[in-house]
Chains A and B, each alone.
Chain A
């Protein structure tokens, strides 16, 4: 599985290969895990936890060493436009770290109950992370398709995890929508290949920079169709009606990790827009549409969250709002706003993931989705049947107080209220938008962001009062140690993002500056010395 040693300096070979680890490691471990019997769940838990921890370490390593020049990894050491490349730049590294942190939280949470609902949860979970990591790293449109499909196939299994009528019905719609989106993806990719003759992103950018590229109109239609596929994934209005239903129906750890899926769509839109349409022949292509879709998504998400009657649904709409914010900031063409939006994206994704987990703990016992008859014979145990629990059985005391604090942090993050990172991100966006002469789109974005802050705060406070303060007859929520650890970890990451807001924003600024210079990316991928190529 290890490609040949790259370059003449074999001494530095080890750390070069780190780039491929977030893809190779989870798929290898997941493959091994499917061979294990379902009774070995402690071993599976240990294996999956170790894998995600290694992924987190690799992501932090890449995050630390991400510089101005993207790190390029050529698989099998084939030269760039013909071989397959992985590219790790600042944006990829940040997204990898986000996926690993969220994945760690969701996985640890699932140890308390949800791994008992079916034997293949952890394997699918690792495959999903492999697809997500691959999508963040790949420098090639067709591999992007393959990684998307791996990620989606795993997500279909995770949405259905725990089974039950609500999940199956939601899953049916989710799968149908995403299969159609994949067809759009294929049509777009093949149109781009048919007109440009390449699928390597850097090569595409280079050909677009040439003075005459044939069939530009057809190429742009291909990009538009491809864009539709990504906008479906990031649930932009009016393509995202599937998201709240699906996320509310999925089990809590699955919903938490699915929060990263819509961000993969956002990532690709940001990456391709700035790489292909930042400069060159098709400069600014589709920007107005992305702006409109982003603004409409924020508005729809806000209305939806105002109408939401349970927390998991509210979480789904919060995911939509955070995707819409980045799309709209990208559409304004303002670098400072995009940097703020990327910073906001990291914080709001973590907070939305934590909200899904909190929703399950708080609404457990009242949630109609949870109780389910197994469909397949090996779904052997009800995850909420505590009688046969083998792991640490003690509940954390003062659960309500801890959950209340966690809920408060989530609300502050998602609504963008001081003093947490959500506010820092929104403030950075406003600073960027008001830096020069304020455009009409800038005013529109600022107005809608302010309204959506209010529109997020109100329903979350209402749901919080309903779930935490209103006296009830049923027993208080039980918080298990691993559930507590997962929530505490995710919220600590949110707090850390606020505490290190300065370096975080500086990193986001540097990311956007590098993205605005697609020449560096192209040179790094195509112009890199060939090394020891065969």
Chain B
């Protein structure tokens, strides 16, 4: 389970970083979302991985068989904040698209844009 989760976090983070370094604003927004998924999973994993353990004391008498509720609370807060700020980022992205007329992160197309095989919109 640890291996699968860490691989998943790694793939999310790698894809997120790659997308964030792309020149189009929408790619940056997607990259930020993927990166925040990776971070949220990471926070969750920091409470140690358990299967079927309740996060509430009382159901189980000893602390070992209880999942850590703090990281769950943390990840919930981080999720909400991340969600809100991504929405805000999308609004600014649309405003930038409307004002500058292009979706490049610099607000203007580079002067000598060479067609790139990996980039459908040079």
CB contact under 8 A between A172 and B105, given known A190-B74, A375-B99: yes
- Give the dominant DSSP class at A's interface: helix
* Mask: chain B, 3-44; 1 = CB below 8 Å from A; 0 = not: 000000000000000001000010010001001100110110
A190 with B71: CB separation less than 8 A: yes
A176 with B39: CB separation less than 8 A: no
* Mask: chain B, 33-57; 1 = CB below 8 Å from A; 0 = not: 0011001101100111000000000
Stretch from A56-64, A178-186, A420-428, A475-483 forming part of the interface with B: A178-186
How many residues of A sit at the interface, in one of the four size bands?
A: 20 to 34
A304 to chain B, nearest CB (A): 20
B42 with A193: CB separation less than 8 A: no
A84 to chain B, nearest CB (A): 12
Contact of A187 among B25, B39, B105 (CB under 8 A): B39
Q: How far is the CA of A146 from the CA of B82 in the complex (A)?
A: 11
Answer whether residue B98 sits at the interface, using C-beta atoms and an 8 A cutoff: yes
A158 to chain B, nearest CB (A): 13
Answer whether residue B106 sits at the interface, using C-beta atoms and an 8 A cutoff: yes
Residues of B within 8 A of A189 (CB): 43, 74
In B79-109, the 8 Å CB interface with A consists of 81-82, 84-86, 88-89, 92-93, 95-96, 98-100, 105-107
Residues of B within 8 A of A152 (CB): 85
Answer whether residue B66 sits at the interface, using C-beta atoms and an 8 A cutoff: no
* Mask: chain A, 140-177; 1 = CB below 8 Å from B; 0 = not: 00100110010011001000100111001101110110
Q: How far is the CA of A373 from the CA of B99 in the complex (A)?
A: 9
Residues of B within 8 A of A146 (CB): 77, 81
A149 with B81: CB separation less than 8 A: yes
Q: Which residue of B is nearest A178, CB measured?
A: B85
A172 with B81: CB separation less than 8 A: no
- Give the dominant DSSP class at B's interface: helix
CB contact under 8 A between A183 and B39, given known A175-B89, A191-B46, A194-B47: yes
Q: How far is the CA of A149 from the CA of B88 in the complex (A)?
A: 13
CB contact under 8 A between A168 and B99, given known A180-B20, A186-B39, A190-B43: yes
Answer whether residue B60 sits at the interface, using C-beta atoms and an 8 A cutoff: no
Residues of A within 8 A of B78 (CB): 145, 186
Specify which of A160, A169, A171 lies most central, judged by the most chain B CB atoms within 10 Å of its CB: A169
A165 with B107: CB separation less than 8 A: yes
Q: How far is the CA of A142 from the CA of B72 in the complex (A)?
A: 13
A71 to chain B, nearest CB (A): 26
B73 to chain A, nearest CB (A): 9
A142 with B46: CB separation less than 8 A: no
B46 with A193: CB separation less than 8 A: yes
Q: How far is the CA of A183 from the CA of B12 in the complex (A)?
A: 13
Residues of B within 8 A of A190 (CB): 42-43, 46, 71, 74
CB contact under 8 A between A176 and B89, given known A168-B96, A183-B36, A187-B39: yes
Q: How far is the CA of A186 from the CA of B95 in the complex (A)?
A: 28
A166 to chain B, nearest CB (A): 9
B80 to chain A, nearest CB (A): 10
Specify which of A142, A191, A194, A373 lies most central, judged by the most chain B CB atoms within 10 Å of its CB: A194
A194 with B46: CB separation less than 8 A: yes
Q: How far is the CA of A186 from the CA of B45 in the complex (A)?
A: 13
B71 with A193: CB separation less than 8 A: yes
Residues of B within 8 A of A153 (CB): 84-85, 88
Residues of B within 8 A of A169 (CB): 96, 100, 106-107
In B57-74, the 8 Å CB interface with A consists of 70-71, 74
Q: Which residue of A is nearest B25, CB measured?
A: A172
A165 with B32: CB separation less than 8 A: no
Q: Which residue of A is nearest B98, CB measured?
A: A375
Residues of B within 8 A of A165 (CB): 99-100, 107
Contact of B32 among A173, A176, A186 (CB under 8 A): A176
A162 to chain B, nearest CB (A): 13
Query: Other CB < 8 Å A-B pairs besides A163-B95, A168-B95, 12 of them?
Result: A142-B74, A149-B81, A153-B84, A171-B92, A172-B93, A176-B20, A176-B105, A179-B86, A180-B35, A186-B39, A189-B74, A193-B71
Supply 23 A–B pairs (Cβ within 8 Å), ascending by A.
A142-B74, A149-B81, A153-B88, A156-B92, A164-B99, A168-B95, A168-B99, A168-B100, A172-B93, A175-B88, A175-B92, A176-B20, A176-B89, A176-B105, A179-B85, A182-B81, A183-B36, A183-B39, A186-B40, A186-B43, A194-B46, A375-B95, A375-B99
B interface residues (Cβ-Cβ under 8 A, vs A): 20, 25, 28, 32, 35-36, 39-40, 42-43, 46-48, 70-71, 74, 77-78, 81-82, 84-86, 88-89, 92-93, 95-96, 98-100, 105-107
